[in-house]
């Protein structure tokens, strides 16, 4: 039955989301406490996310085929602005593919951080005692939490806050790069690994924002990606 297929896809999507958020939280704890064993576990758990990504991808593709053939039966033959878009199974299946991709990439960035950190080249206490690294971890965890909560609740209410946090995170990452590049006693390998983690955390935040943006499109039909760039270009014309 098509309805049960979509319930299963939604349930599987939520399971993946919860696992990704758990990985983000575990990473934050590992970095703050210099827990190398936990970093190892994070890397080992990546296969769980990859397996769910493959399963969700197959489910979404099958759901798309089912939705196309059964759309009229489900009352979605004449979708207009008065219909809540997320109730359209075809739209949901297409969004599920994009959300799954972004969550898988979030998981990849978590593993990238843990993989670098477990080499023990970075001085202890860096992520617990020093700004802006402590702030970066906080903002990344908050961004991931907002994106996952929005997904589970099927809402887009965090969008404004997510955009503000993304801007703040980007500024903090640039600040961290400038700071540690100028530290005199930081060896090249340590700086390289710190920089790799900064980049991974910034990208993790970007993918979380992508999830939030996709939820806006699913719920409202509006594509708000790069909206600020479009506005700035439009304002430059006479």
Cβ atoms 145, 66 nearer than 8 A: no
Rounded Cα–Cα distance for residues 135 and 184 (Å): 22
Taking the whole predicted model, whether its pTM rises above 0.75 is answered as yes
For CA atoms 118, 124, 125, 126, give the dihedral sign: negative
Share of the chain above pLDDT 70, in %: 81
Nearest Cα residue to 163 out of 147, 141, 178, 152: 147
pLDDT digits (tens, 9 = 90+) for 114-162: 999 999 999 999 999 999 999 999 999 999 999 998 888 766 666 678 8
How far, in Å, are 16, 174, 199, 202, 205 from residue 142 at the CA level? 18, 19, 17, 13, 9
Could you give all domains of the chain from N- to C-terminal order, each with its CATH number? 5-73+83-223 (1.20.58.220)
pLDDT digits (tens, 9 = 90+) for 67-85: 777 665 555 455 444 343 4
Nearest Cα residue to 136 out of 144, 118, 52, 5: 144
Task: Identify the residue with better confidence: 46 or 237.
Answer: 46
pLDDT at 167 over 50: yes
pLDDT digits (tens, 9 = 90+) for 203-231: 999 999 999 888 888 877 676 665 554 34
């Amino acid at each position: 039955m098509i309805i049960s297929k979509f319930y299963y896809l939604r349930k599987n999507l939520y399971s993946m989301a919860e696992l990704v958020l758990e990985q983000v939280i575990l990473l934050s704890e590992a970095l703050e406490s210099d827990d190398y064993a936990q970093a190892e576990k994070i890397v080992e758990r990546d296969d769980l996310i990859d397996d769910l990504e493959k399963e969700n991808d197959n489910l979404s593709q099958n759901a798309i085929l089912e939705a196309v053939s059964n759309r009229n039966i489900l009352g979605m033959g004449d979708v207009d602005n008065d219909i809540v878009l997320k109730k359209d199974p075809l739209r949901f299946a297409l969004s599920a593919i994009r959300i799954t991709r972004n969550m898988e990439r979030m998981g990849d960035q978590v593993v990238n951080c843990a993989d670098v950190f477990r080499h023990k080249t970075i001085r202890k206490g860096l992520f617990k005692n020093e700004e802006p690294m402590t702030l970066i971890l906080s903002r990344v965890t908050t961004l991931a939490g907002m994106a996952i909560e929005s997904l589970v609740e099927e809402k887009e209410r965090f969008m404004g806050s997510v955009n503000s946090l993304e801007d703040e995170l980007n500024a903090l990452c640039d600040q961290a790069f400038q700071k540690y590049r100028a530290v005199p006693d930081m060896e090249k390998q340590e700086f390289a690994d710190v920089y790799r983690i900064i980049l991974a955390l910034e990208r993790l935040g970007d993918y979380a924002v992508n999830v939030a943006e996709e939820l806006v499109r699913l719920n409202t039909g509006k594509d708000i990606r790069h909206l600020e760039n479009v506005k700035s270009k439009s304002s430059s014309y006479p």
